[in-house]
Amino acid sequence: MKLDSLTEFLVKSLVSNPDMVSVKQFDDEEQIVIEVLVSSEDMGKVIGKRGMIANAIRTIVQASSRLNNGAYVKINIDSF
């Protein structure tokens, strides 16, 4: 499974407006950067208390990356 597809699936499972979710992946030589945009009203659902949900998403995607190609993954979450 591609990392951006996995991230999109996880985020869309959490939010109330899944149509407003945008996920883009940028590959670099050293790392993979995934940009996640959600609506401002869903931002709290994706971040969670003290960032626990965001960290869980990062952990799952990083583990998937380690199983496939071993690249470091950085996930940036923002709202619009």
Taken in order of first residue, the domains within the chain and their CATH numbers are: 3-79 (3.30.300.20)
Question: At residue 1, does pLDDT exceed 70?
Answer: no
**Would you say 46 and 34 are in contact if contact means Cβ atoms under 8 Å apart?**
no
What is the structure's pLDDT at 15? 96
Predicted local distance difference test score (pLDDT) of residue 68: 83
Euclidean distance between CA atoms 61 and 4, whole angstroms: 9
Cα–Cα distance measured from residue 1 to residue 18, given in angstroms and rounded to the nearest whole number: 20
Q: How far apart are CA 75 and CA 13, in angstroms?
A: 17
Per-residue pLDDT reduced to its tens digit, 15-37: 999 999 999 999 988 899 999 99
Strands across the sheet with 72-79, in order?
22-27, 31-38, 72-79
Summarised one tens digit per residue, pLDDT across range 41-72 is 999 999 999 999 999 999 999 999 999 878 89
For 12, other C-beta atoms within 10 Å of its C-beta total 16
Residue 69: the pLDDT is: 77
